[in-house]
Amino acid sequence: MIMKKLNNSIIVLIMGFCLFSVYLFGQKKMGQFEYMGKSLNYTVQLPLDYDDTKTYPVLVGPSEAASINDESFYWQGIKDSQGWILIGYKIYGASNRTDEIKALFNHLKSTYHVEGNKFHTVCYSANSAGIFDLVMAMPDYFTGITGMAGNPNNSNKEKLKKLKGVRVQFVVGDKDTYWMQSAKKSNKILLEIGVESSIEIIKNGKHVMKPLIGKGFLDRAERLRQ
């Protein structure tokens, strides 16, 4: 009888610790996929109420993915992913590594039920042109991209036409003069060539929009869900 009560107490303690861990850290973990004989790391944050039978939108952001805390900037330190599966990986400068990125995406599709069978992404500052290039190199894998603040190289309209079918949004601060003007120009060009695009200018917003980390960013990413 004493042993049974002890076992029950241990079970309660373990369950309590698990619930506390989810509250404190969220559903964060490291994942791995295989490419060219190597195991490559990526970071994962699942919804707090994640159910592996359900479908979720998946958002992949730039990250070194060196540790569980090496998340993409606009969801660093958050506990609640607001129903998104958030992935961090080295997607910057990856337009010449499309086979590697496709291996990651195909792995994610086999691991999770990906909404629409396509991915969302985010880019900002110096990594943004390269991530736009990646989306244009494999547009069939993407459903939306958010620049925070971030822009494509807008000098080649024919290349930008590859964004047709991908929803684009620019979010930029009005104090960030260079990036705001560039975002306005890119948005105008994309609309002219038939790409679905929008722009939001944040009042008193700076180049690095720390107040939008977490909920502010995820609310905006939500706009691009189909």
**pLDDT (tens digit, 9 = 90+) per residue, 171-190?**
999 999 999 999 999 999 99
Name the domain count of the chain. Answer: 1
Specify the 3-state DSSP secondary structure of 223: coil
Mind listing the pLDDT tens digit for each residue in 102-149? 999 999 999 999 999 999 999 999 999 999 999 999 999 999 999 999
**Over residues 77-82, mean pLDDT:** 94
Q: Which pLDDT score is estimated for 157?
A: 96
Q: Predicted confidence band at 27 (pLDDT cuts at 50, 70, 90)? A: confident
**Over residues 50-65, mean pLDDT:** 97
Q: Predicted confidence band at 1 (pLDDT cuts at 50, 70, 90)? A: low
- In this structure, the number of other CB atoms found within 10 A of the CB of residue 205 comes to 20
- Mean pLDDT estimate for the chain: 90
pLDDT, greater one: 16 or 175 = 175
Q: Predicted confidence band at 64 (pLDDT cuts at 50, 70, 90)? A: very high
**Angstrom distance (rounded) from CA 59 to CA 126:** 19
Which of these, 95, 179, 86, lies nearest to 137 by C-alpha position?
Answer: 95
**Which residue segment(s) compose the domain that 9 sits in?**
2-222
The pTM score is 0.87
Q: Which pLDDT score is estimated for 226?
A: 67
- Ranking 21-30, 58-67, 100-109 by mean pLDDT, the lowest is 21-30
* pLDDT tops 60 at residue 30: yes
**Angstrom distance (rounded) from CA 190 to CA 193:** 5
We report the CATH number of the domain holding residue 34 as 3.40.50.1820
Secondary element (H or E) of residue 70: none
Give residue for tokens 């991530």.
Answer: 131
Q: What residues contact residue 82 under an 8 Å CB cut-off, 6+ apart?
A: 47, 215, 218, 219, 222
**Over residues 19-46, mean pLDDT:** 81
